[in-house]
């Protein structure tokens, strides 16, 4: 019997296109490895060739700039003037090189390139710079000579988690102070908290150097430079090393979908040409992001990006990547304003097959460099095969973000009253995933926390977050908000395909949006931080949400719920009761805002059951309407094993079959 591609008969008619794309990948990998004479990872060593390198007897600097007429190193060492002694020599294939005595450069010196072309000249930061810093007064960025001994790694990298429980982080806004937090502060203050909560993966945003802090790190200029705003490369390595001590994997939120359009501190018009790394004309500019778009059809660009992946794996021991903007990469129209309602929209010729080839190569390389690494795709289009294996003609990501789930919760909270919540639709939306792919579910990421949007807790409680979150008095709206916050997160985690994500602070209902310093807010850091003191304040109710998050993570790990798919038992739209089984746990949700149910019966496996998690427990600021120590037994009624429960309004609990 013939097997359908990706086990989906609906894709059979598109098999020729899928096969063609896979053949483009096979052709490109053969080209890059000279007919498979070496591994792909051996073709991704550009970072070891280009840039500034120190040898026992000299410094060597190399750059690729085929359209340049002259290139000079300028910096602290020659008063920032182009001089013959610092002129690069053209070698081959557009490469330039200079050798300098060891005494010519010292640790900490600033430098750039002065590049001359046929009709102009300009300062440029080398494309492979590993250290870029900004002058505090002039705000100008420069490359920096970084001559330090290699960091000595102390801890082995953890095994890939079978089910990633991801804490999405931003180093700079991780502290409570109104300013930029550091790698060291994160390592000392935030990392122990993440470990204590039970997350097994950290996703780091804004690591690649970016000129504008408010871009959240998505307007990258210097792809090989860890952001110096937060500290030194060694301090980032120590952070990652310490995470590994806690058996926590660290994933880099890598940006290969576009680059900042800046010329003096980015890659745009690097050697006077507009198409060195990017497409020419309109195709080379993103219509919404106002940034430059890579030409994935050029081998030099592919080499640059693949080398970038290998660099972060080898030099910093990241355990994988979350690829940003994958939808934008895969479609000529970047998926803007497009509803992907038909399979034809994935195979109609409007896809950038060079980009798809690059993404497949990147996944091949990453797993070749570190077979234990894992990759996550951010794609809103639902491209089939994105998280299918390359051997099965897929693009090769290990996971895709289940991005429709956060959209579902926002739509529900904005458009429906509590009485209109349809648990059948809810279960469908939370479990509607491609069967052959692994997915990461989340209620909200950093996107929902940005200024102009609202987090779930803010949609639930709004301004009463500021006045009624104390433990000394009850408020009906706050009680509702906290109950639903716990239930929404639990049902999302319990129905997740293969993993779960939350953005830093959202687990305890951080009360404010994110707004980076900008002219419109007088360059304030007030909303570019996390107020951890709210979590620690015993007079406030935030701590109960964090405690519930911690306990639900403990439960899903202990009982290994991701080893099986959720199986629905009850989805009563009238009662607003949702009950489903997963592995050896039974999840019970009553979204009814006013009605509790006594002796609510449903058929289940014969045995005894005990509650292992209860959102209504006073430990989580609930009302303790259930005896969590009671052991429930099935009853044989009309030849059916029924379990009868008391299910309080607006609550959820989890049962474990004990016998």
Bridge partners (DSSP) of residue 167 are 202, 502
Coil, helix or strand at residue 120: strand
CB 365 within 8 Å of CB 307:
no
- Pick from 484, 432, 68: nearest CA to 270: 68
**And the tokens for 384?**
């089939």
Distance (Å, whole) CA 497 – CA 430 = 9
Query: Per-residue DSSP letters for 279-328?
Result: -SGGGGB-TTT--B-B-TTSHHHHHHHHHHHHHHHHHH---EEEETTHHH
- Pick from 600, 605, 564: nearest CA to 582: 564
Q: How many CB atoms lie within 10 A of CB 86?
A: 21
Distance (Å, whole) CA 154 – CA 407 = 41
**And the tokens for 51?**
């840039």
Q: Identify the residue whose tokens are 């044989």.
A: 636
Q: Which one from 238, 241, 265, 324 is the annotated catalytic residue?
A: 324
Helix (H), strand (E) at residue 448: helix 446-449
Distance (Å, whole) CA 469 – CA 94 = 63
Q: How far is CA 315 from CA 152, 237, 308, in A?
A: 11, 8, 10
Distance (Å, whole) CA 158 – CA 156 = 6
Distance (Å, whole) CA 502 – CA 530 = 14
- Pick from 440, 417, 552: nearest CA to 489: 552
CB 637 within 8 Å of CB 630:
no
Bridge partners (DSSP) of residue 351 are 331
The verdict on whether 315 is a catalytic residue reads: no
Q: How many CB atoms lie within 10 A of CB 150?
A: 8
Distance (Å, whole) CA 358 – CA 390 = 12
Q: Which one from 209, 253, 378, 379 is the annotated catalytic residue?
A: 378
- Pick from 97, 105, 129, 108: nearest CA to 54: 105
Distance (Å, whole) CA 325 – CA 252 = 14
φ/ψ of 132, rounded to 5, equals -130, 130
The verdict on whether 378 is a catalytic residue reads: yes
Return the active site residues. 324, 378
């Amino acid at each position: 019997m013939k097997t359908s591609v990706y086990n989906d008969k609906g894709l059979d008619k598109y098999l020729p296109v899928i096969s063609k794309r896979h053949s483009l990948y096979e052709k490109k990998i053969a080209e890059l490895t000279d007919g498979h004479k070496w591994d792909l990872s051996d073709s991704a060593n550009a970072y070891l060739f280009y840039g500034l390198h120190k040898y026992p007897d000299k410094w060597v600097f190399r750059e690729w700039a085929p359209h340049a007429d002259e290139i000079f190193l300028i910096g602290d060492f020659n008063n920032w003037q182009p001089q013959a002694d610092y002129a690069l020599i053209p070698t081959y294939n557009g490469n330039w090189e200079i050798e300098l005595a060891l005494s010519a450069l010292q640790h900490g010196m600033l430098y750039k390139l002065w590049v001359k072309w046929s009709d102009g000249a300009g300062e440029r930061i080398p494309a492979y710079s590993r250290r870029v810093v900004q002058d505090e007064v002039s705000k100008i960025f420069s490359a920096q000579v970084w001559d330090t001994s290699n960091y000595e790694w102390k801890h082995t990298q953890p095994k890939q988690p079978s089910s990633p429980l991801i804490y999405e982080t931003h180093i700079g806004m991780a502290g409570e102070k109104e300013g930029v937090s550091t790698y060291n502060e994160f390592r000392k203050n935030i990392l122990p908290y993440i470990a204590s909560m039970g997350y097994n993966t950290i996703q780091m945003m804004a690591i690649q150097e970016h000129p504008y802090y408010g871009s959240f790190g998505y307007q990258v200029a210097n792809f090989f430079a860890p952001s110096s705003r937060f500290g030194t490369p060694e301090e980032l390595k120590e952070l990652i090393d310490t995470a590994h001590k806690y058996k926590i994997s660290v994933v880099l939120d890598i940006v290969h979908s576009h680059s900042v359009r800046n010329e003096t501190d980015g890659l745009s018009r690097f050697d006077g040409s507009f198409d060195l790394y990017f497409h020419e004309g309109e195709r080379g500019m993103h219509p919404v992001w106002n940034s430059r778009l890579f030409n994935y059809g050029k081998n030099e660009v592919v080499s640059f990006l693949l080398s970038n992946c290998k660099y972060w794996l080898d030099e910093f021991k990241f355990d994988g990547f979350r690829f940003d903007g994958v939808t934008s990469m895969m479609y000529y129209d970047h998926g803007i304003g497009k509803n992907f309602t038909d399979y034809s929209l994935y195979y109609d010729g409007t896809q950038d097959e060079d980009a798809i080839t690059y993404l497949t190569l990147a996944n091949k390389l990453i797993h070749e460099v570190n077979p234990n690494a894992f990759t996550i795709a951010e794609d809103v289009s639902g491209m089939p095969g994105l998280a299918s294996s390359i051997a099965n003609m897929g693009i090769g990501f290990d996971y895709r973000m289940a991005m429709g789930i956060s959209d579902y919760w926002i739509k529900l909270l904005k458009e429906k009253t509590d009485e209109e919540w349809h648990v059948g639709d809810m279960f469908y939306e939370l479990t509607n995933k491609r069967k052959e792919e692994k997915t990461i579910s989340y209620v909200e990421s950093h996107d929902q926390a940005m200024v102009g949007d609202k987090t779930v807790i803010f949609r639930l409680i709004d301004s009463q977050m500021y006045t009624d979150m104390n433990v000394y008095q009850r408020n009906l709206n706050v009680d509702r908000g906290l109950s639903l916050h716990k239930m929404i997160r639990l049902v999302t985690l319990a129905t997740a395909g293969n993993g779960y994500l939350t953005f830093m602070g959202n687990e305890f209902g951080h009360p404010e949006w994110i707004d980076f310093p900008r002219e419109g807010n007088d360059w304030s850091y007030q909303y570019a931080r996390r107020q951890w003191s709210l979590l620690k304040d015993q007079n406030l109710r935030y701590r109960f949400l964090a405690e519930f998050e911690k306990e639900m993570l403990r439960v899903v790990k202990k009982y290994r719920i991701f080893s099986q798919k959720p199986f629905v038992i009850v989805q009563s739209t009238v009662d607003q009761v949702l009950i489903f089984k997963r592995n050896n746990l039974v999840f019970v949700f009553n979204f009814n805002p006013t009605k509790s149910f006594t002796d609510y019966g449903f058929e289940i496996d014969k045995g005894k059951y005990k509650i292992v998690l209860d959102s209504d427990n006073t430990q989580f600021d609930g009302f303790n309407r259930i005896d969590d120590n009671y052991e429930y037994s099935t009853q044989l009624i009309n030849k059916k094993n029924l379990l009868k429960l008391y299910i309080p309004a607006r609550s959820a609990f989890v049962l474990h079959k004990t016998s």
